[in-house]
Amino acid sequence: VLCIPSPFFEASPGTGTSHPPLSPPGIKCGGVLSAPSGNFSSPNFPGLYPYETECTWLIVVAEGSSVLLSFSHFELEYHDACAYDYLQVYNGAARDRGNLLGTFCGHSPPPPFSSAWHVMAVVFRSDRHVAKHGFAAAYRKDACGGQLTGLSGEITSPRYPESYPNDAECRWSIGGASGGGPLTLVFADFQMEGGQGCGFDYVALFDGPTVTAPRLGRYCGSARPPRTISSTPHLLIIFKSDFNIGGRGFKAHFYSAGECQEVFTTIKGNFSSPQYPNFYPNNLKCQWSIQLPPGYRVKVFFLDMELEGRSSLTGACDYDHLSAFDGGTENGSLLGRWCGRESLAPVTSRSNRLLLVLHTDRNTAKRGFSISYVGVVPMNVSCTRTDFHIQIPVQSLAQLERNRIYLGIPSCAAQVVGRNFKIHTRFDTCGTESQRRNNTSVIVSTLYIDFSVGDQEDIHQYEVQCEPKRKEASVTLIAGPDPSRLSQAENLVDAQQREGEAMDAREIKSQDTSDIVFISICILAGLLMVIAVVGLVLL
């Protein structure tokens, strides 16, 4: 009995229907589609698609346009997680989870899609079992406007950066992404015909899917519109030009990530990249501004970070990266710029404001980051050969009683003198101890500032140090991020690694099980065949 391996023939339980052979190694499918419109389908359509096939179609239309994609037929093997045969649609380059619009299988066709820029990718994959009739799809270039459903994207006026045409009207309706929140729109470039009241050429923004929604603004001229955040998961953008006088037009990007633009004013806090610990969206510019009272400094702790890696050409963070600036704007001093997967030391600002900015490009998304920060309390620490002198402005800790500020032990609490909390203590009291560091004798103690509220303990600790011979004192924040939050970040990384290993094991086990079942069927068929032949011989 000749038993063909399972990839070539497969029996559907209870159907007796035939199945196609394994896809030949040289099967042609996928490719680059650059015409303004066209059609494509799964291999052999409308027949059964072959096993173990993977096809990628990259649709590229003129820059400034978008791609409209629709499906007229769709029939793939069903699985509740689409783990077997599936089709994926990407809002840009394929195989980038930050661009993934959806994964589909079964008999329900994907909804129509409009890309957020001029590139869209479609990936089809079949496994070694159960073939169906596949799919048929059509696409066309949309000169301007469209329904944009991705978590992020870019829009431009027609022909940008060349002068836009006269008598044009374009509408972009953004929204409808799964789990989407308020939308943020940022203009990177803007240059149009001006005029009082923007009555000639203009861009109008509406806080909803139609023009009946509240208008967020109407803009023209050469001044870039301000950053706009919708109050709903929908945003309508209308571009209109009249019969003469044009301009370069505009370029803007949008993203659906409510946690992407935040301002923090509390002494201690934490935040993370959009969708963390899942992959962040592409084409983002997110800003987190930490603004503390005058005199404070900001210390940032990196609990977890995984961004796209460095450029192989320049060795720099040219793609996705996180930057820190001293002050409230990107014009401040650059404290650091990071990418890839690194363990970073804490960063401390020189002023009471620190700005963190995340840039992501159009491809290769990663897990992102988780960050905690602590405000470093302004204080003046000095010492003599026998005493510590500590002084903290009352306005910096206005909400605290003096007994919440103490050196070493609670009985060494601060006193209020004028506009300052003051601690004046001898080295032989308040839990101070003598140590030897770098071959130098120093006196060390711990200053506690208790911000706890109710059952929520929040005690900041500072190491106070004096070198008596030189009468030189220093102070260092020694309380880092919440240990529980740091532990959660570490557990998350370990869990994701275990999940990946378990998924690989399940896949291998699934393949092994299916092969064992098929071999058993082959052996049983062989035995039945032998019995039948023996019976014929005996007759």
- Per-residue pLDDT for 1 more than 50? no
Cβ atoms of residues 131 and 45 within 8 Å:
no
pLDDT of residue 514: 43
The number of beta carbons lying within 10 Å of the beta carbon of residue 107 is 9
pLDDT tens-digit series, residues 474-525: 998 886 555 554 445 445 445 444 544 444 444 444 444 444 544 565 566 6
291-311 pLDDT, tens digit each: 998 889 999 999 999 999 999
Note the pLDDT tens digit of each residue in 266-287.
888 999 998 888 888 777 778 8
Q: Does residue 2 surpass a pLDDT of 50?
A: no
Contact 263, 320 (CB under 8 A): no
How remote is the C-alpha of 149 from its chain's centroid? 16
**Which of 307, 263, 250 lies closest to 282 in space, CA to CA?**
307
pLDDT of residue 184: 85
- Does the pLDDT at position 154 exceed 70? yes
User: Collapsing DSSP states into helix, strand and coil, what is residue 125?
Assistant: strand
State the distance between the two ends of the chain, measured CA to CA, in whole angstroms.
21
Contact indicator for 464, 473 with CB cutoff of 8 Å: yes
The alpha carbon of 60 is separated from its chain's Cα centroid by a whole number of angstroms, namely 25
Which of 489 and 245 is assigned the larger pLDDT?
Answer: 245
* Cis-peptide, bond into residue 46, ω within 30° of zero: yes
Helix, strand or coil for residue 24? coil
Residue 100 vs residue 462, higher pLDDT: 462
Mind listing the pLDDT tens digit for each residue in 35-58? 989 999 999 999 999 999 999 999
Which domains are seen in the chain, by residue range? Answer: 30-142 (2.60.120.290), 146-255 (2.60.120.290), 261-376 (2.60.120.290), 380-481 (2.60.40)
183, 278 in Cβ contact below 8 A?
Answer: no
Q: Region 230-243: what's the mean pLDDT?
A: 91
| pLDDT classification of 393: cutoffs 50, 70, 90 | very high
Q: Residue 254: is its pLDDT beyond 80? A: yes
Write the CB contacts of 102 (distance below 8 Å, at least 6 apart in sequence).
88, 89, 110
- Cα–Cα distance measured from residue 329 to residue 287, given in angstroms and rounded to the nearest whole number: 10
The arithmetic mean of pLDDT across residues 239-251, rounded, is 91
Identify the CA nearest to 396 among candidates 417, 410, 375: 375
Number of C-beta neighbours around residue 394 at 10 A: 15
**Cα separation, 475 vs 224, whole angstroms:** 45
| pLDDT reading at 339 higher than 90 | yes
User: Alpha-carbon distance 235 to 326, whole Å?
Assistant: 33
